[in-house]
Chain A
Amino acid sequence: MTTHTALAIEASGLVKTFGEERAVDGVDLAVPAGSIYGVLGPNGAGKTTTIRMLATLIQPDAGSARVLGHDIVTEADAVREAVSLTGQLASVDEDLTGRENLVLLGRLLGYSRGAARERADELLDAFDIAEAAGRLVKHYSGGMRRRLDIAASIVVTPRLMFLDEPTTGLDPRSRNQVWEIVRALVAEGTTILLCTQYLEEADQLANGIAVIDRGRVIAEGTPGHLKASVGTGSLHVRLLDPARRAEAAGILERTVGTVVLEPEPSALSATGADAERAAIGVAELARAGVPLADFSLQQPSLDEVFLALTGHAAEEAAAAEPSPSADTLQEHAS
């Protein structure tokens, strides 16, 4: 046992510049072994570049990192032995069939021809791609392709897996399938570094989260911790009778928190609502005889997390100028 066994990834001060742009600007990470660790951030925040460094695809310009106890620069081969990578674009060969992709990787990992075929068939069955095994990957659906991509990453079960935006662009059903697979992987002992743009995904899967913005980690903690630091979310209420909105607003203002009247004339929401206060608020509305069409307690979105942490919205984070405007109450992903 070395001193590194508790941490699967230890990175300090990682920097990568492309020309003028500092894509990664001093990232520190401490990822405990056996967990799912989420790296949350908008497009262009430096997530993928960080993963590419940790997976030994590119070398950092400054800083250092150890993956499963091995230095990513001086012991790159040892790192490669233990990790696998699932890319943002499904990194499988489109001009080959699903089975050929898996056999190819099996052979490259050292299986004999027969063992590689056997392993490929086992994975195709488990990931529900057996019927499409003989089709070229370019004809696969998005979900199928992503499953093949993950299957390709576990031809030999890695000790650490980099999952870069595994559900971007998937429909909810395919997304759930991918989540199930990810949970199964962790249950079998693989550590996962999950990059995502979705707070919900990180919340569903990750034990710890680092929020990354403009190449830096700007917040770190458990999903609950993070949400608590952002605010607890908001209570959304829709009334049967729009005429009583002012009355309802008064009640919620008193019992929950700041009330925002929404564009729809029967809807309003109260921010700063935890479950208990929301329950009281709804109960007070009922007691006052204000009939409700529906109500919901919503978690803060990534936008709100970003607004709270950085003073600018997630979508704008990749752009040059921060603009701490309030127009982040647009439609949320969830």
Chain B
Amino acid sequence: MTATTRAPGSADTAAVRRAISSTPRPARPGPLSAALTFGWRGMLKVKHVPEQLLDVTVTPVMFLLMFTYLFGGAIAGSTSAYLDYTLPGLLVMSVLFTTVYSGVGLNTDLTKGVVDRFRSLPIWRPAPLLGSLLGDSVRYVVAGTVIIVVGVALGFRPDGGFPGAVAALALVVVFSFGLSWVFSVLGLLMRTPNAVMNAGFMAIFPLTFLSNVFVDPATLPGPLEAFVDVNPISILATASRSLMAGDPDGGAILVSLAVAAALAAVFLPLTTRLYRSR
């Protein structure tokens, strides 16, 4: 190298030096403030990458249209009767599909190295995880709202009215908080975001179909019916249905909440441990 003139850098060295020297260190943020900041990050991602939201809302809307108009008459006698039956279940499907993205998002962060930066900050360690949950909850609510609105547009008029629909959505969102930790663990264990997505849907897809979301389990062969009856997704769909009908099924609601709590109790600590050691 025999460079005698240096290419002028466009970064202004004087300004860089000023920027470097002018930083009194503020006090560390509290745990809640840090988690909320990560929540804000989650919202920004929803804003910048709305395609993600599209993916998960389009599929259930497609199912809603297909099942209602193709099979509705055959299954329930009329499309409107079938819509009443299946919409609360499709709400469950729509929101649960969205939970897979909790794992996908976490895995994307890991592959991009941005997690390293977060982990090198003096902040409350679980803050990034809890914060992304906040961002996720926005996605859950949007996904759930879309399916309900489309349902109403197609003539869905539940007896529980608006409060019933809100209560059902709230229950499904709370359940999703519990379930999302399962996918977070998956997100920490697998190598690529795509692998997380595939594995996630491979699990959630059959579980959703082997439930009472689309058909009355009484019509199924015995062993299958037995499985469908104990599938937590069936129980959640039953609870959602009962809330929307304005006749809450306390047992199903309690079981749904208990399952969510159990999932969180097992997978949340596992997530934080894996996150720390990655």
Contact = CB atoms under 8 A, between A and B. Distances in A.
The 7 closest A-B pairs by CB, nearest first: A110-B26, A126-B19, A177-B9, A126-B15, A80-B122, A91-B113, A91-B117
Contact of A87 (B11, B22, B117): B117
B40 A157 contact: no
A81 B28 CA distance: 9
B34 A55 contact: no
Nearest to B20: A188
Contacts of B20: 154, 157, 184-185, 188, 190
Interface in B1-51: 1-2, 6-7, 9-13, 15-23, 25-29, 33-34, 37, 40-41, 44-45, 48-49
A90 B114 CA distance: 8
B121 interface: yes
A140 interface: no
Given A105-B117, A108-B34, 20 more contacts: A57-B119, A80-B122, A85-B116, A89-B113, A93-B112, A94-B112, A94-B114, A95-B45, A95-B48, A95-B49, A107-B29, A110-B26, A110-B28, A112-B26, A126-B16, A127-B19, A157-B23, A181-B16, A296-B2, A334-B1
B270 interface: no
B16 A180 contact: yes
Interface residues of A, number: 61
A145 to B, nearest CB: 12
Given A123-B19, A126-B19, A111 B26 contact: yes
B123 interface: yes
A126 B11 contact: yes
Contacts of B7: 172-173, 176
Contacts of B112: 89, 91, 93-94
Given A94-B112, A176-B7, A154 B19 contact: yes
A176 B6 contact: yes
A190 B16 CA distance: 13
Contacts of A279: none
Nearest to A124: B19
B258 to A, nearest CB: 35
A93 B40 CA distance: 13
Interface-centre pick from B33, B37, B117 (highest chain A CB count, 10 A): B117
A176 B119 contact: no
8 contacts: A84-B120, A87-B116, A89-B112, A91-B114, A91-B116, A109-B26, A156-B26, A188-B21
A87 B29 contact: no
A312 interface: no
B116 A77 contact: no
B228 to A, nearest CB: 39
A55 B9 contact: no
Interface string A131-161: 0000010000000000100011011110000
B121 to A, nearest CB: 6
Contacts of A115: 26
Contacts of A52: 116
A207 B27 CA distance: 33
A125 B29 contact: no
B108 to A, nearest CB: 8
Contacts, number: 141
A182 to B, nearest CB: 10
Contact of B17 (A93, A123, A147, A188): A188
Interface string B72-84: 0000000000000
A34 to B, nearest CB: 14
A125 B120 CA distance: 25
A268 to B, nearest CB: 19
Nearest to A90: B113
Contacts of A88: 113
B120 A104 contact: no
Interface string B203-245: 0000000000000000000000000000000000000000000
Interface-centre pick from B20, B37, B40, B49 (highest chain A CB count, 10 A): B20
Contacts of B27: 110
B11 A96 contact: no
A43 interface: no
Contact of B122 (A77, A151, A334): A77
Contacts of A187: 17
A154 B21 CA distance: 10
A110 B29 CA distance: 4
Contacts of A109: 25-26, 28-29, 121
A83 interface: yes
A213 to B, nearest CB: 24
Given A108-B37, A110-B27, A180 B114 contact: no
A315 interface: no
A91 B116 CA distance: 7
